[in-house]
Amino acid sequence: MLNVTRTLALKANYLIIVKHAKNNLIIWLDCPNFQDSLWIDVLLDQYINLDHVYTSHYALEVDTQHTQLIGNVDITVNHAGISPKPNKSICMHGEWAIAFAMTKTNILFAYPHQGRELLDYEMFIVGQFTAFIDISQHGHIILLDSAIHLHVAQSNDLLLECHDRFGDLITHHIIVRVSAATASQSGPTTKKSQPNPFDLD
């Protein structure tokens, strides 16, 4: 579990002064574009909502925050325009791929050793999408992805590539939900009446 050890070591370093760590990273020339408010989640190896990533990618305005330390209190001011923000939720594979690619790029900027783990996980989720030709079922896979990320973020000894540890999540979000959806679409089954062999008419 060398990757776990490396992640925890970097996370401990970022935790010392996380805002200072963020400022040191985002001033680099090759720093990828990412929503400012999500950088803290990246550095602390926390759950990242891909809906927020997807929404910020298509936003028509810049939503920035300025934090000023006054005494022992952090004062945060939001600078947002007056244009309405689009409310986009990921519903299909293509949308998920855009948000995941952006998130992966930023995670690797802070945790460069996670490359193989993220690639392995990406192939795992893509495989789930490929298994369902009906795109109306893709929402279940997106829920599974969110559940896995949340599960991993809450654990110090779990990696995204530990597929064998996600059996209950796969059962709940894919097998059970898809089976229930299929059953509801097919409707109740009725028995075809059989002719009475003693009916002489």
Measured distance between the N- and C-terminal CA atoms of the chain, rounded to whole angstroms: 78
Number of independent structural domains in the chain: 1
Rounded to 5°, the CA angle 55-59-61 comes to 145
Q: What is the rounded CA–CA span in Å between residue 186 and residue 179?
A: 11
Q: What is the rounded CA–CA span in Å between residue 118 and residue 113?
A: 10
* 83 within some domain: no
* 111 within some domain: yes
Which structure tokens are listed for 65? Answer: 């925050």
CA atoms within 13 A on the CB side of 141: 24
Q: How far is CA 45 from CA 26, 61, 154, 157, 161, in A?
A: 17, 27, 9, 13, 15
The number of helix segments (H) and strand segments (E) in the chain equals 9, 2
Neighbours of 31 (CB within 10 A): 12
* 73 within some domain: no
pLDDT at residue 60 in the model: 63
* 70 within some domain: no
Closest CA to 99 of 144, 147, 134, 58: 58
Distance of CA 140 to the CA centre of its chain: 13
Q: Is 123 helix (H, G, I), strand (E, B) or coil?
A: helix
Q: What is the rounded CA–CA span in Å between residue 2 and residue 111?
A: 13
* 119 within some domain: yes
Q: Which residues of the chain have pLDDT under 50?
A: 66-73, 77, 79-84, 86, 190-192, 198
Spatial contact of 57 and 101, defined as CB atoms under 8 Å apart = no
pTM score: 0.76
Range of the domain at 11: 2-58+88-186
Q: What is the rounded CA–CA span in Å between residue 149 and residue 3?
A: 16
pLDDT at residue 137 in the model: 87
* 6 within some domain: yes
* 107 within some domain: yes
Closest CA to 115 of 152, 161, 164: 161
* 29 within some domain: yes
